[in-house]
Amino acid sequence: MRKRWEQVRAAFTRRIRYRITRGGLLFTLALLAVGFGAILSANNLLFLILAAMLATFLVSGVVSRLGLAALELDFLVPEHVPAGRHVPGKLFVRNRKWLMPSFSIRVEAIRDPDSPSLRSGVYFALVAAGETLEGAVDVRFPRRGAYRQNSFAFSTSFPFGFLEKAARVTLRREMIVYPSIDPQPGFDDLLLGIAGEIETHYRGLGKDFYRIRPYEAMESSRHVDWKASAHVGSLQVREFAREQEQTVEMYLDRDVPPALDAWFEHAVDCCAFLAWSLSNQGASIHFRAQGFDFRQPEDGDIYTILKYLALVYPQRAEETEPPLEETSYKILLTASPRRFLDAGWLGARILDPGVLPIPPGGAGNAAA
């Protein structure tokens, strides 16, 4: 019983915000007019009407406060959630009061740039005592990272609509939100170029003959099959089967100064998009950063990389790491290209500030 009482007491003492409605403003003006008339005329009937109006106003406040008391909220979203997208979720509202139901309850997200937002609130006409109701929502998380306190609010204007009362509730369920994997301006063409370069990079690495095909511009002449070329009247080349899967070595440089924090956030989003797209194309990924080394799919799936990118932060490094994969295609995201070129990343595709489109108000990455 004591525990129940403490829960109800805590619900009653939570911070309540008030907003007077148009109906409440008109009722207040009518209340003042009746009170002023009763005082001037000393009419007992007007005093009775004034008392009834005051009682109605007080009862409205008590009933709405009771309706918001002892309400619990739980919030569930899918396991894998990227930032910047609306994803389906579920809200669960439970009325912990023993006897009294709650009427006309609306659940909305607190308006905060760093808090999740709902496309629309959820309305419950009645939440009976001891009952748990469920509502479907579309939720959007504005940034990557761990969300430990997601703020929502219960609001009601029951029973007469004089005041809209809102009680803030904070969830303690932790959720990991991945970086945005949405395409960014200029990255579609970049990804197509990377895919073409990867394909060109892997041609001829094997020893088993695969096929004879037409010559393509900028290819080496050492694979030209002169007999086949003379037979068809155009240059033909021999193509050999690969002996290994496509492996893309990606490296995210965490060693960035504080002035480039916006650049680092954009670099993380770019890295997540590239890793997600390459994984969907069937490429094996060797992802590295200072203090992190992961191979996909040998060590796990792409979601392990996205989870790391959700929580990664800039970190100073004493020395620059060289590339590890000799035959891999290398993608390097760094704010200091010269430092990595000196460390042996000469054949890598370097993403570096200056060329790729940048988001409004932030620094960007560029293909060197």
Q: Domain range for residue 322?
A: 247-351
One domain for residues 104 and 165: yes
Angle at 275 between CA 274 and CA 280, to 5 degrees: 100
pLDDT of residue 234: 87
Paired tokens of 62: 């008590």
One domain for residues 169 and 271: no
Residue 115 half-sphere exposure, CB side, CA atoms within 13 Å?
15
SS3 263: helix
One domain for residues 255 and 233: no
| Intra-chain end-to-end CA distance of the chain, in Å | 69
User: Residue 297: is the preceding peptide bond cis (ω within 30°)?
Assistant: yes
Please report whether residue 194 resides in a domain.
no
One domain for residues 234 and 252: no
pLDDT of residue 207: 54
Q: In the listed set 178, 193, 224, which residue is the last one of a domain according to the structure?
A: 178
pLDDT of residue 349: 77
Encode burial over 70-91: b for 16+ CB neighbours within 10 A, e otherwise.
bbebebebeeebbbbeebebeb
Q: How many residues does the chain have?
A: 368
pLDDT of residue 343: 81
One domain for residues 87 and 228: no
Averaged over successive runs of 10 residues, the pLDDT of the chain (368 residues) comes to 59 68 91 92 91 90 87 87 90 89 89 80 91 91 84 87 84 84 75 67 55 73 81 81 66 87 88 87 86 88 93 86 71 84 78 46 36
pLDDT of residue 172: 66
Question: pTM, whole model, 2 decimals?
Answer: 0.70
Please report whether residue 302 resides in a domain.
yes
Nearest to 142 by CA among 179, 110, 170, 168: 179
The total number of structural domains in the chain stands at 3
Please report whether residue 364 resides in a domain.
no
Beta bridge partners of 169: 152
Please report whether residue 358 resides in a domain.
no
Helix segments in the chain, DSSP class H: 2-12, 22-41, 44-68, 187-202, 226-232, 261-280, 302-311, 337-342
One domain for residues 261 and 309: yes
pLDDT of residue 31: 92
**Can you give the CATH number for the domain in which 16 is found?**
2.60.40.10
Residue type for position 234: S
pLDDT of residue 243: 47
DSSP code per residue over 18-39: EEE-HHHHHHHHHHHHHHHHHH
One domain for residues 45 and 111: yes
Please report whether residue 197 resides in a domain.
no
One domain for residues 150 and 28: yes
One domain for residues 2 and 133: yes
Given CA atoms 329, 286, 314, 77 in this order, what sign does their dihedral have? positive
Please report whether residue 117 resides in a domain.
yes
One domain for residues 44 and 146: yes
pLDDT of residue 220: 63
One domain for residues 155 and 227: no
One domain for residues 73 and 174: yes
